[in-house]
Structure 1
Amino acid sequence: MNLRTILILGALSAFGPLAIDFYLPGFPAIALAFATDEQHVQLTLASYFLGLSIGQLAYGPIADRFGRRLPLLFGVGLFTLASLACAFAPTLEWLIAARFVQALGGCAGMVLSRAIVSDKCSPVESAKVFSQLMLVMGLAPILAPMLGGLLVNVYGWQTIFMTLTLFSAMTAAAVAWGLPESMPAGHPRLPLSGALGSYWRLFGDRIFLGHALTGGIAMAGMFSYIAGSPFVFIKLYGVPAEHYGWLFGTNAAGFILVAQVNARLVGRFGPAWLLSRMVWLYLAAALVLLGIASLHTEKLWPLLVPLFIYIASLGCIIPNASACAMAGQGKRAGSASALLGCLQFSVAAGAAALVGVLHDGTAVPMATVITLCGVLAVSLAMLTRRAQLKRDALNPPVDVRL
């Protein structure tokens, strides 16, 4: 896969994290503008997650019927128009609705970028490309809150959505002129009437479902961190709000570094082998984190070490889980990608909500949910690995490293 295609897919993959992280610094300004509180402003985030889950399920069958390019152009165009609607929202209710529509458009890039990689690459090559795309997924949480905070302070919260409008319009142009249809000519095109059947068969595929849930539960741990870290860092340990981004960015840097190392190692060991080993590091770091959080230490740094290790391990787990889940999906790659994304974000959003439910004024709830995710991820990865080896013994794969 050439550099131009990877850059375009990277921009498409950035829609999700940008639309989430970019406007978080604007919450107080949005609350002030609409004479409400930040709890009500958080409904704009909830509506975005709802749109992501619903939209991904719709794009999968459409992409398997009509190809990747047209649904992608439609989705990016819808994201552009919805971003503009967010910028000029006259009421909070309007903004909530526009964010939902924005998610319906933005999830096209998330679903179809995975399908395009699956169209063009073998499982090992897919893991390499997904690792490269993790560079974008890691950079966005570092840069987006910083740039968003600057825009809000200087020009107002509306400029965040104007910037997203410009970014998505430029991405649409790049897709139109630089990203040809990836579905092979003569490839079987599944009818839309068979969408439920495709999803049903995917739910019956233990290998797909195991890898998808392994990646989703690992991602849930990251969402638990995102949901819990502002309280732990700022409120509990007194980190100045302006320094929070640096701590967040340091952990994201570990995620990026491991993702790039994974891209080099996956050709030698295979994505499934690396996944089955790295989940143990994830669990070990989570257990240490829970132990330290339970001690209620007066210093923050003992928590930061296991946090860094666990987040860094996700740079290997998420791309390899995605590559393993998408391997061999063929004509239903669009549906597989859609269900993969829906499962990941649904589980992740539930874990983030659980951190809030368990809130007790300490770091223990965040660490508990992260550890629970680690236990489940290891269990699923081991069960799926056994099922994969059993299937391979009966039907040896072309790429034995999978």
Structure 2
Amino acid sequence: MTTPTDAPTHSPTTVDHARTAAPAYRPNAKYVLLLGMMCALPAISNDIYLPSLPDVARDLGTSATAAQLTMTAMMLGGAVGQLVIGPLSDRFGRRAPVLVGVALHILTSLLCAVVTGVEMLIALRVAQGFFNASATVVAMAVIRDRFVGADASRLISRLMLVIGIAPLFAPSVGGLIAGEWGWRAVFVGLGAFGAFLWVVCWRRLPETLPAARRRDGGLRTALRGYRTLLRDRHFLALAIMPGLGNAVLMSYVIGSPFVLQEGFGLSSHQFSLLFALNGIGLVAGAQVNAALVRKVAPIRIIRVVLPASLGMTLALLVVCATGFGGLPLLLVMLWLVLALVNFAPPNASALALSRHGEIAGTAAAMIGATQAAISGVISPLSGFLGGDAVAMAVVMVGSSMAALAVLALATPAYRRGGGWTG
């Protein structure tokens, strides 16, 4: 029986769900917490900063759109960072890239605290995203080193419990810090969190890629790995879906401070509370998915959830456009939309990773970079479309529609006899 650590590449036409053998390692709570904190570093770097966006715009004398670009900049930097760091983790192992990357995240966080213009802040946020991408891509590669298929999907969903702490508490913490010491102190706090994570990784993160399995070579080897991935159209389809799902989430994350605080007059404290309540929906959805994949194949979950997500975002758009139900119904619809967001990405990511276990770091980098790039490009569109609730909902509908189209047109998921038993 093939083990999770030496599973060969799947053919481009199928995802071999039968290859999801029992994992050789059972993660304990501390292991899940560590990987969850690593995956959550980019989310924390954005979410803790959310309540400060209006203050940043005022203090630096810039527009709301420019302030939102400081969020997008980090995601785009993260996309490039994952493409670079993923192959490095296949070459040098998992520990070294994350320790260097998190150390540089600390430095850029402290530099963000002393900027004098929005242009410099945007540039530093690009660098911050590049470096903290190391934590996410290494965490995903570590998962693939030991798990595949439903086991990987279940672990990724469990990580969402940890990652979900970011939207639950980060804006509240960021709002408290900014309220006492100003928005610049938020970046000092990010640096402190990075230092804590660095120490934990140094002491607790195991090396899951032995020297015998590391890939020799430099740029040519990395490019060869990406060429292999780019030729696998089903891998690409699976890699795109988490990005479109994250675009739905990030459209809310980036747009909600202006929609709820400026559009509906909520205070920073009220916004943080509502953001936390919606975070509960994110976490709940991920945990339901983690339980569901024990009995239902990941691809079957995706087939059902993506149409449901599209229907829910369309209903949200109707509520926003008509004003029916006011703020209470808007918040209920947002909660339901966000509760569905974390179903498809863990399953799509796990299926994509299972296809290329021999280059897990490169594959994880491609998935993460695609996710960051797609969500980074799409999510700020709500600001360019007017920044109101309707604009935010339109972007969510478009992202959901695109995800369903990718599944239906670029994979055999809805075709009889397509060979995808996932």
Question: What residue ranges of structure 2 are gaps of 5+ in the alignment?
Answer: 1-26
> Is residue 2:411 matched to residue 1:368?
no
What are the residue-to-residue correspondences of 1:110-121 with 2, within 5 Å?
110-121=136-147
> Is residue 2:350 matched to residue 1:331?
no
198 and 159 in structure 1: CA distance in 2 versus 1, 3 angstrom threshold: same
- Of 289, 309, 321, 2:348 maps to 321
Question: Would you say the 8 A contact 1:25–1:148 is kept in 2?
Answer: yes
AA aligned to 1:221 is V
Which residue of the partner structure matches residue 255 of structure 1?
282
CA distance in 2, matches of 1:215, 1:42: 22
Of the structure 1 ranges 83-92 and 34-43, higher mean CA displacement relative to structure 2 is found in 34-43
CA distance in 2, matches of 1:28, 1:233: 12
What are the residue-to-residue correspondences of 1:72-151 with 2, within 5 Å?
72-89=98-115, 92-151=118-177
Report the CA distance between 1:99 and its aligned residue.
Answer: 2.6
26 and 239 in structure 1: CA distance in 2 versus 1, 3 angstrom threshold: closer
AA aligned to 2:182 is G
Question: Would you say the 8 A contact 2:92–2:214 is kept in 1?
Answer: no
Report the CA distance between 1:207 and its aligned residue.
Answer: 1.6
Which residue of the partner structure matches residue 383 of structure 2?
356
Which residue of the partner structure matches residue 10 of structure 2?
none
CA distance in 1, matches of 2:314, 2:69: 32
Which residue of the partner structure matches residue 154 of structure 1?
180
Question: Would you say the 8 A contact 1:203–1:209 is kept in 2?
Answer: yes
Question: Would you say the 8 A contact 1:281–1:310 is kept in 2?
Answer: no
Question: Would you say the 8 A contact 2:171–2:275 is kept in 1?
Answer: no
- Of 235, 242, 245, 2:269 maps to 242
368 and 33 in structure 1: CA distance in 2 versus 1, 3 angstrom threshold: closer
CA distance in 2, matches of 1:352, 1:9: 26
Q: CA RMSD in A?
A: 2.5
Of the structure 1 ranges 216-225 and 228-237, higher mean CA displacement relative to structure 2 is found in 228-237
Question: Would you say the 8 A contact 2:148–2:353 is kept in 1?
Answer: no
Q: Secondary structure at the match of 1:267?
A: coil
327 and 356 in structure 1: CA distance in 2 versus 1, 3 angstrom threshold: same
Question: Would you say the 8 A contact 2:75–2:372 is kept in 1?
Answer: yes
CA distance in 2, matches of 1:95, 1:357: 20
150 and 323 in structure 1: CA distance in 2 versus 1, 3 angstrom threshold: same
Number of equivalent positions: 395
240 and 166 in structure 1: CA distance in 2 versus 1, 3 angstrom threshold: closer
- Of 40, 47, 51, 1:25 maps to 51
Q: Secondary structure at the match of 2:379?
A: helix
> Is residue 2:226 matched to residue 1:175?
no
AA aligned to 1:155 is W
39 and 3 in structure 1: CA distance in 2 versus 1, 3 angstrom threshold: same
In proportion to residue count, which structure has more helix?
A: 1
Report the CA distance between 1:109 and its aligned residue.
Answer: 0.6
- Of 364, 367, 371, 1:340 maps to 367
Question: Would you say the 8 A contact 1:61–1:190 is kept in 2?
Answer: no
* TM-score of the superposed pair, with normalisation by structure 2: 0.86
Report the CA distance between 1:386 and its aligned residue.
Answer: 1.2
Percent identity of paired positions between Structure 1 and Structure 2: 35
Report the CA distance between 1:26 and its aligned residue.
Answer: 3.0
Report the CA distance between 1:17 and its aligned residue.
Answer: 1.0
AA aligned to 1:78 is L
> Is residue 2:212 matched to residue 1:212?
no
CA distance in 1, matches of 2:417, 2:113: 51
AA aligned to 1:208 is F
Report the CA distance between 1:73 and its aligned residue.
Answer: 1.0
Report the CA distance between 1:172 and its aligned residue.
Answer: 1.2
Q: Secondary structure at the match of 1:180?
A: coil
What are the residue-to-residue correspondences of 1:218-237 with 2, within 5 Å?
218-237=245-264
364 and 70 in structure 1: CA distance in 2 versus 1, 3 angstrom threshold: same
AA aligned to 2:375 is A
Of the structure 1 ranges 320-329 and 86-95, higher mean CA displacement relative to structure 2 is found in 86-95
CA distance in 2, matches of 1:21, 1:232: 16
CA distance in 2, matches of 1:236, 1:157: 22
Question: What residue ranges of structure 1 are gaps of 5+ in the alignment?
Answer: none
- Of 284, 297, 304, 2:324 maps to 297
Q: Secondary structure at the match of 1:283?
A: helix
Q: Residue deviations 1:73-121, cap 9 Å, x none?
A: 1111111222222234466555444333222210101111111101111
Question: Would you say the 8 A contact 2:37–2:163 is kept in 1?
Answer: no
Report the CA distance between 1:190 and its aligned residue.
Answer: 4.7
Of the structure 1 ranges 288-297 and 32-41, higher mean CA displacement relative to structure 2 is found in 32-41
CA distance in 1, matches of 2:59, 2:258: 24
* TM-score of the superposed pair, with normalisation by structure 1: 0.90
Q: Secondary structure at the match of 1:268?
A: coil
